[in-house]
Amino acid sequence: MKLGERLDTLADDYLQFHEQLGIRWAMFRLWDTVMSEPGSRGVVKADAIAEVQKKCRAYGIEPYCFLLPQGRNTQYWHARFGQSPEADGEIENVCESLRVLGGAGIQVCEWTWSVPDVFGRIPWPTTTGRGGAGVSRFDYDLVADKRPEFAVDMSAEQMWDNLIYFMEKILPVAEQAGVRMAMHHHDPPTRWLAGEARILSSFEGMKRMIEEVDSPMNGFNICQGTVAEQAGTDVLAVIRYFGERDRINHVHFRNVKGSVPVFDESFIDDGDVDMYQAMKIYRETGYQHLFMSDHCPRMVEVDGHPTALASRAYAVGYIRALMHAVETEYAAEKARMAQREGKLVG
């Protein structure tokens, strides 16, 4: 298991901050730097990836996971709408990007599949959490009739057809490149949002995704907050199911209060999920890849000093402590078992 963080910039003080936290692995996007065309389109550039690696390694950080471009009119935007010459060109760009990533030794590629994507949040400071910290809230009733201007109506059948076509093209390339694909399931996990069927908003949908194209590279970024937001879902059971099948390739280790239709994104220790038990299940099922904080609440400035990264540091420390506790317990249990076996042999 690896503790990582998202790199939003390659500024020296930012990298040094993460070095001071003991971060040795990273997820990155840096699309303006690494993509071959403006607007985060085209193909990932091998020389740009090499420069990212060189800069990070100077601070003891190894780039491990890359997030494919998200949002309107980025790399594989039109592929979401179905088959077309433009979509096929975008898919080839994704395939070539995977070849570049694999050649550079990047282990995991995160991606999403939606048009409105993360839509409908009520941002801070409108909503607050513990101690007045700024948190993000979702209330479906407030956005049920709203949609971004670029939204489209798309049925579940259309969504599945388009997604399967895309996966059938990219996953053989991912296998050849040795890059594990980590789908970030739909956030927020409503069944419908802005006219779009959210087919990856439930355990059943997530299960179907890995069954439709059964590749060892086809797995998830288990965003624990988003799983917890799925009303009535047993988060620990979901982790165990996909963990036992080696289909967890990345983890956003975060917590929330509530679930659809209303939830708040909380501090990591202040939500509904038992994070210690979750960490135990990852260890038991052999998870090997990154844990990363995500959607951290905004904390108050202290005596005029900004604390923009304080919440991230808090989450990193909490994750590190859980990892240490679980690894220590695992090692102790392994030693006890060896001792028992030795006595039996003797």
- Write the pLDDT tens digit of every residue in 91-125: 999 999 999 999 999 999 999 999 998 889 887 77
| Predicted model pTM | 0.94
Alpha-helical regions (H) of 213-309: 224-229, 235-244, 275-284
Low-confidence ranges of the chain (pLDDT < 70): 343-346
pLDDT tens for 41-99 read: 999 999 999 999 999 999 999 999 999 999 999 999 999 999 999 999 999 999 999 99
pLDDT at 129: 93
d(CA 224, CA 230): 10
Alpha-carbon torsion, ordered 61, 185, 75, 38, to 10 deg: -60
Q: Please give the structure tokens belonging to residue 62.
A: 């190894």
- Contact status, residue 220 vs residue 183, Cβ threshold 8 Å: yes
Q: Is the dihedral of CA 297, 298, 302, 308 positive or negative?
A: positive
pLDDT at 304: 82
CA-nearest of 312, 302, 327, 326 to 268 is 312
pLDDT at 321: 98
pLDDT at 341: 77
pLDDT at 47: 98
pLDDT at 344: 63
Q: Distances in Å between the alpha carbon of 316 and those of 24, 93, 222, 273, 291?
A: 12, 34, 17, 17, 9
Q: Please give the structure tokens belonging to residue 318.
A: 């909490």
pLDDT at 339: 82
Q: Distances in Å between the alpha carbon of 160 and those of 41, 67, 238, 262?
A: 24, 22, 21, 27
Q: Where are the beta strands (DSSP E) in the chain?
A: 2-7, 25-28, 35-37, 41-44, 62-67, 108-111, 121-122, 137-139, 180-184, 192-193, 196-197, 218-223, 248-252, 256-259, 262-265, 290-292
Domains and CATH numbers, the chain: 2-345 (3.20.20.150)
CA-nearest of 38, 46, 98, 92 to 68 is 98
As a whole-number percent, the residues of the chain with pLDDT over 90 amount to: 88
Q: Identify the bridge partners of residue 311 per DSSP, sorted by sequence position.
A: none
Q: Where are the beta strands (DSSP E) in 279-342?
A: 290-292
